[in-house]
Amino acid sequence: MRASAVVKNLKDKGFRITPIRKQIIEILSEDRGPLTSLDILTIIHKTGKKVNESTHDHAIGVSSCIRFARCNKTTVYRQIAFLLEQEILEEINLGEGKNRYDLVENKAHHHHLTCNNCGVIKDLPLEDNDFLQSIEKNTNFRIQKHSLELFGLCLGCQK
Amino acid sequence: MRASAVVKNLKDKGFRITPIRKQIIEILSEDRGPLTSLDILTIIHKTGKKVNESTHDHAIGVSSCIRFARCNKTTVYRQIAFLLEQEILEEINLGEGKNRYDLVENKAHHHHLTCNNCGVIKDLPLEDNDFLQSIEKNTNFRIQKHSLELFGLCLGCQK
DNA sequence: TGATCATATGCAACTTAGTTGCATTTGTCA
DNA sequence: TGACAAATGCAACTAAGTTGCATATGATCA
Ligand SMILES: [Mn+2]
Ligand SMILES: [Mn+2]
Ligand SMILES: [Zn+2]
Ligand SMILES: [Zn+2]
C-alpha cells in the first residue's frame, strides 16, 4: 500500500508517527482527488465515529478512534505544513479561496482538469519540460515552479 | 488613453460612471501589474489625500477627493465584481490567499512570471491554442478557462 | 516496564479576505 | 430641478488559516 511506504519512510527519517499523521496520509492516499483541510478534518471525524459505533475489533483501535473524534483543525493545518515540508504533499489552488492537497509520492508531476458543472477533478499528466525551457530562453527567467489548472466540462456534463 | 475608452464603453452601455468606478479603471490601466483589492483601496485613499493637500485645482475635483478618502473596501469589492461581469477585469490567483486583478481590455490573453525573490510580476504573452486543443482531444474535456502561473527568479535576482 | 523529553495536540483567541443587510447618497435623464 | 434606480458606507458576519500556551503522548533508554 502507498500509505504505509510513506509512513515507513518518515519513521526511518526519525519523525514520530502519531495516529492523526498516519490517518491523514492514509486519507490522501485513497485518491479521492485533492482535498481541502476541512475535507480532511471531516473524514477524520467520521472515521472516529464509524469505528466507535462498530462493536467489532478494528485495525484502528479504540484510543485512536477517540482521538480522531476530537481532532482539531489546528492539528490538521500543522500536519499539512509538516507534510508539505517533507514534500509528501503538493498544495493546489483552484481559485476557490482555499487550498487543496494532493499526495506527491511516486506520482509524476501533473495538472488538473476541473469540471465547472459537476466539480470532478481529473489528473492530467503532461510532459511540459520543452515548453518550460523555451519560456526560460525567451524571458530570461529561471523557472522554479509552475501551476497549470484547466477548467471546463467533463464528457458527462457536455450533455 | 486606455482608461477613458473603457469608461466611454461603459457609458454607452448605459452604466453609471461614478468617481470611484472611474478611478479604479484608471488605477488598473496604469499597468502596475495585477493588484489586490487592498492595493486598489490604498491607492484610492492616497489619491484622495494627495489631491486634498495640493492647493492647485486638479482634474479630479474636490468632491471626488472627499469620496476617495472615505472609500470603503465593500465598494471596491463590489466594483471588482461589476468589472469582472463586464469582462473588463480578469481575476488572477497566485496562491497568496487573495486575488489579484488585471485589466483585460485589448491586451491579449496572457500569463504571468512571478519572481520568488523580489516579487515582480511580468506578463507572459503565450499562444497556447494548439496546446489546449490537443488536451481537449486527449481527455474529452471541453476546456473553457485555464490558468498558467510561473514562479522563479527574474534576471536581476539570479545573482 | 517505566521515567524522560521533545514533539504533537486541543483549545481559545486572533488575523485577514471577502460577503451581506440596510439605511443613505448620488448619477442620470426627463 | 425632481424622481428613481444604482452606488455607497458602515457594521456585523463568515470562512480560511495562524498563534500562544497548557497538556498529552510517541520514541528512547535505563
Ligand atoms: Mn492530482
Ligand atoms: Mn498581466
Ligand atoms: Zn462534470
Ligand atoms: Zn526578482
pLDDT along chain A (159 residues), means of 10: 90 97 97 96 90 59 87 98 97 96 82 94 83 91 94 94
As a whole number of angstroms, the distance between CA B109 and CA B124 comes to: 9
B107 touches strand C (CB under 7 A): no
* pLDDT value for A130: 80
Give me the CA A24–C1' C12 separation in Å, rounded.
Answer: 24
Q: Could you tell me which of A111, A112, A89, A88 has the C-alpha nearest to residue A102? A: A89
Q: Where residue B80 sits, what CATH number does that domain have?
A: 1.10.10.10
pLDDT of residue A49: 74
* pLDDT attached to residue A1: 54
Ligand nearest to the CA of A114: 3
Give the SS3 label for residue B62: helix
Q: Which ligand places an atom closest to the C-alpha of A120?
A: 3
Judgement on whether residues A98 and A120 belong to the same structural domain of the protein: no
Claim to verify: residue B144 and residue B74 sit in the same structural domain: no
Q: Which residues of A touch B148 (CB under 8 A)?
A: 146-148
Same domain, yes or no, for A91 and A155?
no
- Chain C nucleotides near the protein (CB, 7 A): 7-13, 16-21, 26-29
Q: Which domain holds residue A64?
A: 1-106
CA distance readout (Å), B98 to A64, A146, B34, B91, B152 = 36, 18, 12, 10, 20
Residues A83, A101, single domain; the answer is yes
B26 and B89 within one domain: yes
Q: Give the integer Cα–Cα distance in Å for A105 and A157.
A: 31
Q: What's the grid cell of residue A81?
A: 505544513
Q: Are residues A151 and A130 in the same domain?
A: yes
For residues B101 and B112, membership in a common domain is answered with no
B80 and B136 assigned to the same domain? no
Confidence grade of residue B63 (pLDDT, cut at 50, 70, 90): confident
pLDDT higher than 90, residue B62: no
pTM of the full predicted structure? Answer: 0.91
Do A119 and A145 share a domain, yes or no? yes
For chain A, what is the domain count? 2
Res B49: pLDDT: 74
Which residue's CA shows the smallest distance to C1' of D8? Answer: B75
Asked if B12 and B43 sit in the same domain, the reply is yes
Asked if B149 and B131 sit in the same domain, the reply is yes
Q: What's the mean pLDDT when you consider all of chain B?
A: 90
Instruction: Say if the Cβ atoms of A151 and B143 lie within 8 Å.
Output: yes
CA atoms within 13 A on the CB side of B154: 14
Q: Which residue has 500569463 as its cell numbers?
A: B111
CA of A95 to the centre of ligand 3 (A): 18
Average pLDDT over residues B82-105: 95
A13 CA from centroid of ligand 3 (Å): 41
Residue-level pLDDT at B53? 60
pLDDT digit string (tens) for B101-157? 999 976 778 899 999 999 999 999 877 778 889 899 999 999 999 999 999 999 999
**Domain boundary, last residue among B61, B77, B106:** B106
What confidence score (pLDDT) does residue A99 get? 98
**Domain holding A138: CATH number?**
3.30.1490.190
Tell me the C-alpha distance between B61 and B106, whole Å: 29
Is the confidence at residue B93, as pLDDT, over 90?
yes
- The DSSP H or E segment spanning A65 is helix A62-70
Q: What is the mean pLDDT of chain A?
A: 90
As a whole number, mean pLDDT of residues B22-30 equals: 97
Residues 38-77 of B with CB under 8 A from A: none
Q: Which of A122, A126, A152 sits opposite B142 (nearest CB)?
A: A152
Which candidate, B73, B86, B71, B81, places its Cα nearest to that of B14?
A: B86
pLDDT at B1 over 70: no
Same-domain check for residues B27 and B97 = yes
- Partners of A35 in the beta sheet? A101
CB B152 within 8 A of CB A144: yes
Domain end residue (candidates: B106, B126, B146): B106
Instruction: Please state, in angstroms and as integers, the Cα–Cα distance from residue A54 to each residue in A49, A51, A140, following that order.
Output: 9, 5, 60
Neighbours of A109 (CB within 10 A): 12
Dihedral sign (CA A45, A50, A55, A61): negative
Length of chain A: 159
Question: Nearest-CA distance from A152 to chain B in Å?
Answer: 4
Task: For residues A76 and B76, give the distance between their C-alpha atoms in angstroms, rounded to a whole number.
Answer: 34
